[in-house]
Chains A and B, each alone.
Chain A
Amino acid sequence: MVDRFRGRGRDAAARAATDDPPAPAPARDPKAETWARVQLARNLRRPRILDLLPELAEEFVEIHGDRLFGDDEAVVTGFARIGDRRVVVVGQQKGADTEENIRRNFGMPHPEGYRKAMRVMELAERFGLPVVTFVDVPGAHPGPESEERGIAEAIARSIGLMSRLRTPIVVVITGEGGSGGALAIAVGDVVIALENAVYSVISPEGCASILWRTADEAPTAAVAMKMTAPDQQALGIIDIVIPEPGEGAHTDHAETARRIRAVVVDQLDALAAVPLDELVEARYRRFRTIGAFREVEAPPPVIPERPGLADRLRNLLDPGRWSGISTIPAGRRDELPARDEV
């Protein structure tokens, strides 16, 4: 955020918007490297929010419930004290073992999880506390209960709330940043990620099964989506990447927490100095300017005219008929093309 005020973040976004994509990381089998990162991000022993907080904050009081339906244990919320700063914490929590994972639904929140997050973020706004969120989610829970209770609505509202919340928001992606389920708590003034975190619009398996027609191509899809933290930083989606200790964050939870703490404290102090109007406006601008497109002047592409009877007869006799591009306008085709899903 502060970088954005100084202009660095904007440069990154502009680069992503205008130039060629940044050069891929030099050789050394990018596929294996990327896939190793995805595996690290999903490592079972990777520190979760509750593992990090003891080292990251002096004090933490968890609060529960969305006041509408229930309490979702896949989302942890509460008040924390970092040094002399009071903050509100929101994070997704996977389990360390099977039993806990069942309780926490493998870190996949239901709508009530996001509604709980919204509730505490509103508290934060009301009491003037900054928000720190910890993102680690394979995706929002995709099941009938989730749909019945409006997972899409909860995500959209949460994104909306964060985009206008009048208090600083620091986002830390610690593990998997899985699509809308991650973005719902990741609309922040500054987005930080651990070195081996990933952020993507769809899981690599999902992407591969749609575009390559087999989930086995997941590593290829992971490379194509540029989902690693350094790649995302180059695209301007992530502002700061925190190096992990040793072989990865799972080897030293305490050191990981200390490194996160240093950066978060830095950012909180910097953001505290920014007037709220400016803060909210800059946050809006940040997301408003993401995306690469160009404006062209040429007339729109022309569909070939619908052929007359004579043409159609000629076509019928032409063996090449079925190989070419269909002359039927898209609105007329009702078969389902490959679905792009979040």
Chain B
Amino acid sequence: MPIKLPSFRPRRDAYPPDLWTKCPSCGEMLFNKQLDKVLRVCPSCGHHFRLSAEARIEMLLDAGSFAERDAGLESEDPLGFVDQKAYPDRIAAAQLATGMRDAAVWGTGTIDGRPVVVCVMDFGFMGGSMGAVVGEKVTRAAEHALVARVPLFVVAASGGARMQEGTLSLMQLAKTVGALERLRAAGVPFLSLLSDPTTGGVFASFAVLGDVNIAEPNALIGFAGARVSAGTIAQELPPGFQRSEFLFQHGFLDRVVHRSELRSEVSSLLRFLVARPAPLVEDRTDGDPLGLPSFRALSFLSNLAERVLPTESEIAGATNGHSSSPATPTTPTTASTTATPTTPSTPATPTTPSAPATAPVRASQPAPMSAPSPTPEATTTPEPVPGATSSEEASRG
């Protein structure tokens, strides 16, 4: 029994918006509780409603697996920006309305048991615009994915860069893309989900760069806003312009996926997109053109050698000679113990010239994997075998 108090209603077709939602596509009135059950997709026309970051995480990740990181990041007002409202006031209002600190959250979680690093944006917070905090969160997520060697999954929902932070927000494009380039060089997968809407600087930076790009049906995805396009060039825009299907047709999306199938699609993609293990060998061989982490790995290796070599020679000097080297040392890293005996013995072995060259490289590969395993068994595990045998050959000769 609705109370007829028309003067309190702002418009004729108003409705209690916390109970009912009107589908903007087909005009159907949808009961919110029902809508939540079907992942906020209109049952009659398939319109995908926008999701809050919280709902998105709940929908995509295993229940209770999400652990948020850096929840305390909050924007500052570096420009002292005031339009019709001061920027800090806008932030405060958005925080009150959404319960978020800024337009993105990031953290770790699992999808069907597979670990992922996720970063999810929320269009409800100032149009999902990317300022320093969003840029920082995406970057930190990428950096964490790089260190943990876990796939990165970013859900974009944004109007673009945040004007209130001026060029500082523009530089977030460079910041996020720079971090993703490192991820790419290291062979850690990056999955990008473009939801409605993904435009402007967010689309033109990390969102478009996914190793696999997925979008929801009919999502608005584009570089310039449709009004800007139409205004600047004064020409008719084609139907379906800047929608998921348009981008799919032009080859910028891998898949357009209905929300009900999204989770299983992502899960099956994650079965294929697995981070490349052990960066050390690759960095040695092709690190030069790819660049970024190569010198770190090498310095890590040389540090390792410096730490291990003197003790090794001391031990070798104390217990007479080369033959005992695989068994006696109790240093935790098998790679260095198997690799180091080759170097002193190389001048004496003209028989196997290739062995010393390949041995340190091969042996260094399993180092991070076999590090926890105790040294004596290491020679019997399958991976260190080539390194160990070659060193044995070298020391025998």
Contacts and interface: CB of A to CB of B under 8 A. Distances in A.
Interface of A: 16-17, 20-21, 139-140, 142-144, 146-153, 155-157, 159-160, 163-164, 166, 177, 179-180, 183, 187, 199-202, 206-207, 210-212, 221, 224-227, 232, 235, 237, 277, 280-281, 284, 287-288, 290-298, 300-303, 306-307, 312-313, 316-317, 319, 321-322, 325-334, 337-342
Contact of B223 (A152, A211, A284, A302): A152
Interface in B23-42: 24, 32
A329 B8 CA distance: 22
A207 B55 CA distance: 31
Contact of A156 (B54, B171, B177): B177
B248 interface: no
A316 B5 contact: yes
Contact of B50 (A146, A207, A331): A331
Interface stretch (B95-103, B358-366, B385-393): B95-103
Contacts of B225: 339, 341
Interface in B220-244: 222-225, 228-229, 232-233, 235, 237-238, 241-242
- A-B pairs, top 7 by smallest CB distance, nearest first, are A330-B124, A331-B52, A291-B132, A142-B224, A342-B200, A163-B178, A152-B204
Chain B contact residues (Cβ within 8 angstroms of A): what range?
Answer: 35 or more
A224 B83 contact: yes
B292 interface: yes
Nearest to B23: A334
A201 B166 contact: yes
A237 B78 CA distance: 13
B96 A325 contact: yes
B89 interface: no
B205 A159 contact: yes
B246 to A, nearest CB: 8
Given A288-B139, A330-B97, A142 B232 contact: yes
A167 B228 CA distance: 36
Given A147-B223, A331-B55, A300 B18 contact: no
14 contacts: A142-B233, A144-B238, A147-B241, A152-B204, A187-B174, A201-B163, A212-B83, A237-B167, A280-B291, A298-B72, A300-B101, A329-B124, A332-B17, A334-B21
Contacts of B18: 306-307, 312, 327-328, 332
Nearest to B99: A303
A159 B208 contact: no
Given A300-B100, A300-B101, A144 B237 contact: yes
A298 B79 CA distance: 24
Interface stretch (B179-187, B256-264, B346-354): B179-187
B355 interface: no
Contacts of B127: 337-340
A147 B222 contact: yes
B172 interface: yes
Contacts of B21: 332, 334
Contacts of A159: 173-174, 177-178, 205
A226 B166 contact: yes
Interface in B116-173: 122-127, 129, 131-133, 135-136, 139, 159-163, 165-173
A342 B3 contact: no
Contact of A341 (B160, B165, B208, B235): B160
Contact of A292 (B16, B76, B200, B223): B76
Contacts of A150: 208, 250-252
B167 A235 contact: yes
Nearest to B198: A152
Given A232-B167, A316-B8, A331-B55, A294 B74 contact: yes
Contacts of A142: 223-224, 228-229, 232-233
A340 to B, nearest CB: 4
A152 B204 CA distance: 4
Contacts of B180: 160
Contact of B81 (A224, A237, A334, A338): A224
Given A152-B223, A187-B174, A226-B166, A317 B5 contact: yes
Given A160-B178, A183-B170, A296-B74, A341 B50 contact: no
A327 B80 CA distance: 29
A292 B133 CA distance: 8
Contacts of B165: 201, 291-292
Of A183, A296, A297, A339, most B-chain CB atoms within 10 Å: A339
Interface in B46-95: 49-52, 54-55, 70-84, 93-95
Contact of A235 (B72, B78, B238): B78
A65 to B, nearest CB: 20
B299 to A, nearest CB: 10
Contact of B71 (A179, A300, A328, A333): A300
B333 interface: no
A152 B229 CA distance: 14
B96 A301 contact: yes
Nearest to A186: B174
Contacts of B99: 300-303, 329
A295 B73 contact: yes
Contacts of B70: 295
B175 interface: yes
B50 A292 contact: no
Contacts of A232: 167
Contacts of B252: 150, 153
B300 interface: no
B92 to A, nearest CB: 8
Contacts of B232: 142-143
Contact of A201 (B133, B170, B179, B185): B170
A329 B52 contact: yes
Given A142-B228, A160-B180, A330-B98, A155 B8 contact: no
Contacts of B5: 316-317
A339 B160 CA distance: 8
Of A20, A142, A293, A307, most B-chain CB atoms within 10 Å: A293
Contact of B177 (A147, A163, A291, A326): A163
B66 to A, nearest CB: 15
A295 B289 CA distance: 37
Contacts of B107: none
B5 to A, nearest CB: 7
